[in-house]
Every structure is written in structure tokens, then in C-alpha cells.
Amino acid sequence: METRERIVDTASRLFYKQGYNSTGINQIIKEAEVAKSSLYQYFPSKEDLLIEYLEVTAKITNMTLKSVADKYNSPKEKILSIFDYLLDFSIQTEFSGCNFLNISAELPLEKGEVKALIKGQKNRMREMFSEFLKPQGKESLADEIYLLFEAAMVSSKVYGELWPIRTTRKIIEKLI
């Protein structure tokens, strides 16, 4: 694995697992097995590394969710597949909530570029739900479904259990 990729992979794992504020540059350097100068060659600041983490995570998340939903034809199936994916992801990983919400909770409001990236990703989720609902003329439900999606992730993290995702899926089945 290339040095830059190793840095990003290590930082991504640590930011997700233990949080941005609790992850130090020295820990990233040690666990990525790179020289400090190598890290700073690619990322002049910890915030630059955070921005890369959010951009990479957004790209992977969007591609994954699109590929999951593309297996289905109906708007309802597409949306339910997203919740099924979230459930499977929560079971198969050490689920610690939403990458973007976790970072958002840690950073002060003046971190404009980071907040803009997070807001942009959340808007893409809303747009995705709207696109799924368009064939039925129910785009107005996109915000409700988006809020239920966010609530499912937050509640699942708070409780450390899967019932919030399962319950939200049942609500979506009735809503659409």
C-alpha cells in the first residue's frame, strides 16, 4: 500500500473508532508506519487529513448505497435496501454511528470547510431518497425518510443495539 493511502486508511480507522479529537498525529504516524515528514508532505495539517477522510468516506458511502439500491426497481425496495444495508453494516462491523455526524459533534462551528463537507454529504442523502421517490411522485417524503435514517443511526449508536434500525425500517414500509 502506498504511503498516502496508508496514512488515510489509518486516520480513517482511528477517526471513526476513537474520534477526531482523541486521535493524535503521532498515533497516526506510528500506526501507519510512516515518517512524520511523509505525513506532512501529503497533509500539512490534521484538518487536511480530516477533509480527505470525509471526502473518501463520502465517495465510498455514495457508491455503496447507489450499488445497493440499483439492484431494485421500485422506490420502496430501493429505500428499504438502504435500511437493510445499514442493518447488515451495523452487524458486520464495529458500528460506531455515522462518520459524518460523529465528526460534526466534535468540531466547533467555525470549521467551515469541514461542516460544508458534512452538510453536502447529508444533502446527497436527502437527494438520493428524493430520486428514489420521484417515479411515484412522492419526493416530498424524502426529508421524512432522511430524518428517520439519521435517527436510526444515532439511536443505534446510543443504545448499541439494532432495534432502532429495524423499527425505522418498519416505519418506512408503512410510510411508502
CB 124 within 8 A of CB 62: yes
Give all domains of the chain, ordered by start, each with its CATH number. 1-44 (1.10.10.60), 50-175 (1.10.357.10)
CB 28 within 8 A of CB 50: no
CB atoms within 10 A of CB 31: 16
**Residue whose C-alpha cell reads 503521532 in the numeric block:** 26
Q: Mind listing the pLDDT tens digit for each residue in 58-68? A: 999 999 999 99
Rounded distance, CA 75 to CA 134, Å? 8
Kindly list the distances between the CA atom of residue 172 and the CA atoms of 9, 88, 126, 139, in Å, as whole numbers in the listed order: 34, 17, 15, 14
Rounded distance, CA 60 to CA 31, Å? 23
Rounded distance, CA 151 to CA 171, Å? 12
Greater confidence (50 vs 92) lies with 50
107 pLDDT above the threshold of 90: no
Alpha carbon dihedral 126, 165, 115, 63, in 10-degree steps, equals: -60
CB 83 within 8 A of CB 165: yes
Q: pLDDT grade, residue 126 (50/70/90)?
A: very high
Q: pLDDT grade, residue 96 (50/70/90)?
A: confident
Q: pLDDT grade, residue 109 (50/70/90)?
A: low
Local structure of 88: helix, strand or coil: helix
